[in-house]
Amino acid sequence: MTGLLEPRAIGADLVRLDGHAKVTGTAPYAFEQPVENPAYLHPVQATIARGRVSAMQVAAARDMPGVLAVLTHENAPRLASTEDAELAVLQSAEVGFRGQFVGAVIAETPEIARHAASLVHVDYEEEPHDVSLSAGRVDLYAPEQVNPSFPTDTEQGDVEGAFAAAAVRVEETYTTAWVHNNPMEPHTTVALREGASLTLYDSTQGVHSVRTIVAPVLGLDPERVRVIAPHVGGGFGSKGVPHAHVVLAAMAAQVVAGRAVKFALTRQQMFSLVGYRTPTIQRVQLAADGDGRLTAIAHDVVEQTSRIKEFAEQTAEPTRHMYAAPNRRTTHRLAALDVPVPSWMRAPGDCPGMFGPEVAMDELATAAGIDPIELRVRNDPDTDPESGLPFSSRRLVECLREGARRFGWDGRSPAPRARREAGWLVGTGVASSVYPLYRMPGSAAHIRALSAGRYSVGIGAADIGTGTWTTLTQIAADALDVGVENIDLRIGDTELPNATVAGGSSGITSWGSAIVDAARTFRDKFGADPEEGDEADGSTPDNPDAERFAMYAFGAQFAEVHVREDTGEIRVPRMLGVFDAGRIINPRTARSQFLGGMTMGLSMALHEQSVLDPRFGHIVNHDFADYHIAANADVAAIDVHWLDGYDPHANPMGSKGIGEIGIVGTAAAVANAAYHATGIRVRDLPLTADKFLG
Ligand code: MOS
């Protein structure tokens, strides 16, 4: 990559530019966008997991004062495309999963809409449903590819032969729970239809993605669809693509044309309508010689998708790039069930997919009598094991060594169950992290000179709480060689140049590169002293280095775990993450991303589990009373550190993406520390107390 930016504003500990508006409550989130005289929508959801609606009695709802309309599959506007079954809202009587939309009420107030929706009576022809994932199912199938477009299976050498001949081996099954994204701001769409024009105030990770996907479903000219999202209260992938509620809101807006319709999902509704992380069953085989050098690695994954639409989590993908071994195999098999559609959740694939292998590495270390850090160092590859390409930068060994120093790894007992403190068993554990550097093609940026040395910089990017408002301002300042106070950033609107989704930790790479390109074009055309109104465009350029290097962020996760000997209660008083993430644009917002990722990983390790009732096919604990996410009392000292430097090939900023790496490996580090504390190897997440009681 040529043309690295000289970091001046980049790297500065700048406070969030949107911080004041947020803490004073003046930053408009989707539901708060000022629209005149809005109507409100409340959905009716299926109470069976498979079958069809045979009759609906809507009179009681329709006749209620304040109700404007009741939508069912019989009277809802027809969509132009039903190709995406998740988005084919109210187009047929079929029910594909419990919780699917089967109707909706539009009313003068949210309370009337909700009450009226409860008065809609639905009769069903129920069919037997099938919602149980297991590795023994005979109908498991290999998808054509896994998310977003990786090969389903890979194989090199002779895994079984090497495994049989190995001095040391581990062969175990690891399982991760069904878990749900729960961003603070619920999914919300405010839709206003005027003639053939549609405006959506949407809580989304990408305004242009919403437009691109939703316009053809509704049969609208994309140019007449405007999507606005200046502030978003978290997404973690669940707002990375529009789900059915966006289509339902737009349909309702068509029915009450000229009047805006507000639709905010309830927390309970989110558990069936906005995606989730599939449970995984991971068979891992590791074989090594007497020195702990890996001779074979196999990772065979079974997971679920929805019968109505496929999503194939790339769970075995990270295994393809982590450690050197001549014989390697990865596979993915899916069960298509009568369940909601799974989707992205922070580090899809890499997050669950590093749990099995990184616990297996800990088991191999024990079996070989080698320190788990030393084992990882010995197996660190010189080139990407999958592609054979050199890494653009890979400082995993440095992360492990620096982490060991900071965490106090020296003197750690090689044997488990060696330390007791006042009734608590104490242990420490480590795991590696990896996350690919994605660059999405197709972002564009516009720069215009304002008065008094100021510049307007526009790009349809999203700030989902990550700090985009601040970091893109810093990048624009350096690209134009002015101070951050001279930049007037505009994001979150399809009126601005096209921007790719805030997903795959690709935002800064994709959008930042487009801004740098626009700034260089601008300076080439107008020099350092432009006239007011001078303007230039730019876009994310191709990066020829992307073909020549394997690009990943890396990290080392450390945890100290205390397990109560008599009750199995588990506590994590101390965690450390050391990351190789290239140049850090803003240490304040970056630290927050790493902390958030590690906290979410801790939450996955200890608490998060969406409990399915197979009799009805729904998630029982679909609220915050029963679905526990790590709270303050669960989170103690988390220390975040990153290696200084930059990636010379990634992008003009030298950054590698930080939104997701923090969650990868965390749960394995906690599980490994729990083993070290207790001598009990738990291979099933979450690590609840019962699993530590003999
Ligand atoms: Mo992230 S799960 O790619 O939004």
Residues 507-552 have pLDDT tens digits of 999 999 999 999 999 999 999 999 999 999 999 999 999 999 999 9
Q: Is the CB of 237 under 6 A from ligand 1?
A: yes
Mean pLDDT on 251-255: 98
Identify whether the C-beta of residue 569 lies closer than 8 Å to the C-beta of residue 451: no
Residues in the chain: 694
d(CA 215, CA 198): 9
Q: Is the pLDDT of residue 694 over 90?
A: no
Strand partners, 105: 42, 70
CA of 112 to the centre of ligand 1 (A): 35
Secondary element (H or E) of residue 253: helix 244-255
- pTM beyond 0.95, yes or no: yes
| Predicted pLDDT at 326 | 96
CA of 330 to the centre of ligand 1 (A): 22
| Predicted pLDDT at 262 | 98
Sign of CA dihedral 58, 63, 64, 68: positive
Mean pLDDT on 173-190: 98
| pLDDT > 70 fraction of the chain, expressed in percent and rounded | 100
CA of 347 to the centre of ligand 1 (A): 6
- Looking from the CA of residue 501, the nearest atom of ligand 1 is 4
| Predicted pLDDT at 3 | 86
- Looking from the CA of residue 236, the nearest atom of ligand 1 is 4
Q: Is the pLDDT of residue 361 over 70?
A: yes
pLDDT by residue (tens digit) across 617-662?
A: 999 999 999 999 999 999 999 999 999 999 999 999 999 999 999 9
- Looking from the CA of residue 348, the nearest atom of ligand 1 is 2
Q: Is the pLDDT of residue 155 over 60?
A: yes
Read off the tokens for 267. Answer: 């927390």
To the query of whether residue 398 is one of the catalytic residues in this protein, the response is no
Secondary element (H or E) of residue 294: strand 294-306
| Predicted pLDDT at 539 | 97
- Looking from the CA of residue 504, the nearest atom of ligand 1 is 3
Identify whether the C-beta of residue 294 lies closer than 8 Å to the C-beta of residue 287: yes
Q: Is the CB of 346 under 6 A from ligand 1?
A: yes
CA of 504 to the centre of ligand 1 (A): 5
533: region left, alpha or beta (phi > 0 left; psi from -120 to 50 alpha): left
Q: 370 pLDDT band (50/70/90 cuts)?
A: very high
Mean pLDDT on 384-410: 98
Q: Is the pLDDT of residue 1 over 60?
A: no
Instruction: Name the closest-CA residue to atom 4, ligand 1.
Output: 237
Closest to 390 measured CA to CA, from 544, 509, 545, 504: 545
d(CA 198, CA 237): 24
d(CA 684, CA 635): 21
Q: Is the CB of 530 under 6 A from ligand 1?
A: no
d(CA 484, CA 11): 12
Cβ burial, residue 537 (10 Å; 0-12/13-18/19+) = middle
Q: Is the pLDDT of residue 664 over 70?
A: yes
pLDDT by residue (tens digit) across 315-353?
A: 999 999 999 999 999 999 999 999 999 999 999 999 999
Q: 297 pLDDT band (50/70/90 cuts)?
A: very high
pLDDT by residue (tens digit) across 26-76?
A: 999 999 999 999 999 999 999 999 999 999 999 999 999 999 999 999 999
CA of 372 to the centre of ligand 1 (A): 30
pLDDT by residue (tens digit) across 549-582?
A: 999 999 999 999 999 999 999 999 999 999 999 9
Apex CA 355: angle with CA 350 and CA 360, to 5°?
125
**DSSP letter (8 states) at residue 74:** T
Q: Is the pLDDT of residue 475 over 80?
A: yes
Mean pLDDT on 389-396: 98
How far apart are the two ends of the chain, measured CA to CA in Å? 56
Catalytic pick among 317, 402, 560, 660: 660
| Predicted pLDDT at 606 | 98
| Predicted pLDDT at 142 | 98
